[in-house]
Amino acid sequence: MCLWRNSTYELDTFAPSVLHPIAMIEIPIHLLASYIVIFKTPPTMTSVKWMMVFMHFCSAFLDLFLSALSTQYYLVPVFGGYMRGILTDLGVSSIIQGHMFIVSICVAGVSILGFFESRYNAIVKRNRGSIFKTKGRLLYIVLHYTYAFCFTLPLLFYPLDQEEGRRFVKEALPCVPHSIIDHPDFYLFIDKPYILAIYYGMTATVFEIEAIYYFTRTALYLSSNKAKSQRTYKLQVQFFIALTFQIMIPLCVLILPIVYLITAFITKHFDQIANNIALNFLALHGLTSSTVMLIVHKPYREAVINIFRLRYICNRKPAISVSEQSIMAVSSVVVIQRVSRVSHRI
């Protein structure tokens, strides 16, 4: 099915008009979240501090990559399109940006999986040592991140003939204006997109099964109340619940558009408005993650409140000092008048 409505929401100008202003909102929120995690993490959360920093960095980079560095414009269900962002202005090719796009999503997913794996090892297996001291865990993490960075490399080494690729896209999507397909930066990554969709779908499924396993085992352990003490048990439960909200809410923002895009690849359904909306939603993952993280974790929430409370007090100080000066000035005038009257009588 090929649907084209001749709407401005289908053009390559739609995403930049939405995502570039969003990037201006994301930057201060990501910076605030980074400051809070690095400098305001309490001692009880020290063991997860730098893993949270890394997970936050991956989410923030994905946001800024999609909203500013490489705004995506793909004609799903064909795996082809071009980008409009800072990297394009700097001369970075579409195929490199496409590789970075997929890798950014995959690395963000692996960082989330790594966090669940870390909680499982710390709580269930009670292995609280550094990951660098455990060869098995270190190998497990290295293999996952290596796969995340390398599993799209075949697209770089076996490029298609782009003239034939453009003809293929025009035949597959006859409703799309040829001016879009003939754009100088348009690039078709693969002529059999359903293979890529199945490949990505299998990768996402494996990561999801692993995350569900770690989450379920940790949740069952905590529900059995096997912690060393009630205080430890309470802290672990509170943090695990907060962490679940921190990951699951933004994950829905990431999963829903990915499910739509994979479904569109498999069913060969084309709707460019839906494509643009799905790609725009991907750029909200990090913003949602940072916001939820600052809200659900009590130490971070209190740190943010204290920052804004201190700023409010500082902004109020000039007004208070001016009023105090006014009162002192009036009092001085009254005192001087009374003194002059007394001296006049004398």
DSSP 224-259: TT-SSSHHHHHHHHHHHHHHHHHHHHHHHHHHHHHH
283 in any annotated domain: yes
Asked whether residue 184 is assigned to any structural domain, the reply reads yes
According to the per-residue pLDDT averaged within each range, which of 53-67, 129-143, 326-340 is highest? 53-67
Asked if residue 177 is part of any domain, the answer here is: yes
Residue 321 placed within a domain: no
189: nearest Cα among 276, 125, 98: 98
Query: Residues 80, 187: contact at Cβ < 8 Å?
Result: yes
**pLDDT-derived band at 130, boundaries 50, 70, 90:** low
Q: How confident is the model at residue 318 (pLDDT cuts 50, 70, 90)?
A: low
Q: Is 343 within the bounds of a domain?
A: no
- pLDDT at residue 204 above 80? yes
Residue in 45, 211, 226 with CA at minimum distance from that of residue 124: 226
Does the pLDDT of residue 9 top 70, yes or no?
Answer: yes
CATH number of the structural domain spanning residue 205: 1.20.1070.10
How would you classify residue 276: left for phi > 0, otherwise alpha for psi between -120 and 50, otherwise beta? alpha
Length of the chain: 346
Any domain includes 342? no
For the ranges 91-95, 156-160, 182-186, the lowest mean pLDDT is seen at 156-160
Chain segment 90-124, per-residue pLDDT in tens: 999 888 898 898 899 899 889 988 888 888 888 88
d(CA 58, CA 69): 14
Q: With 50 as the cut, is the pLDDT of residue 70 above it?
A: yes
What range defines the domain where residue 80 resides? 2-316
pLDDT of residue 274: 93
Q: Which of 53, 48, 2 is nearest to 235 (CA)?
A: 48
Q: pLDDT digits over 12-42, tens only?
A: 999 889 998 999 999 999 999 999 999 998 8
Residue 340 lies in a domain: no
The pLDDT of residue 61 is 93
- Which of the four pLDDT bands, split at 50, 70 and 90, describes residue 52? confident
State the average pLDDT over residues 216-239.
Answer: 76
User: How many domains does the structure of the chain reveal?
Assistant: 1
pLDDT in tens, 283-314: 888 889 899 999 998 889 999 999 888 766 77
Structure confidence at residue 132 (pLDDT): 60
Confidence band of 238 (pLDDT split at 50, 70, 90):
confident
Between CA 338 and CA 341, with CA 339 as vertex, the angle to 5 degrees is 65
Q: Is residue 328 part of a domain?
A: no
Quick check: 330 pLDDT over 60? no
pLDDT range class, residue 346, cuts 50, 70, 90: very low
Q: Check whether 343 has a pLDDT greater than 50.
A: no
> Token pair for residue 23?
């990037």
Integer Cα distance of 114 and 103 in angstroms: 16
**Stronger pLDDT, 158 or 342, i.e. the higher one:** 158
Q: Report d(CA 261, CA 278) in Å as an integer.
A: 7
Rounded percentage of the chain residues whose pLDDT exceeds 90: 27
3-state helix, strand, coil in the chain (%, to 5): 80, 5, 15
Average pLDDT value for residue range 143-150: 91
pLDDT of residue 312: 66
Q: Which residue has the higher pLDDT, 248 or 320?
A: 248
What is the average pLDDT score of the chain? 82
More confident residue, 235 or 66: 66
User: What phi and psi values does residue 341 have, to the nearest 5 degrees?
Assistant: -65, -45
Best CA proximity match to 120, nearest among 101, 146, 104, 140:
140
pLDDT above 70 covers a percentage of the chain that reads 85
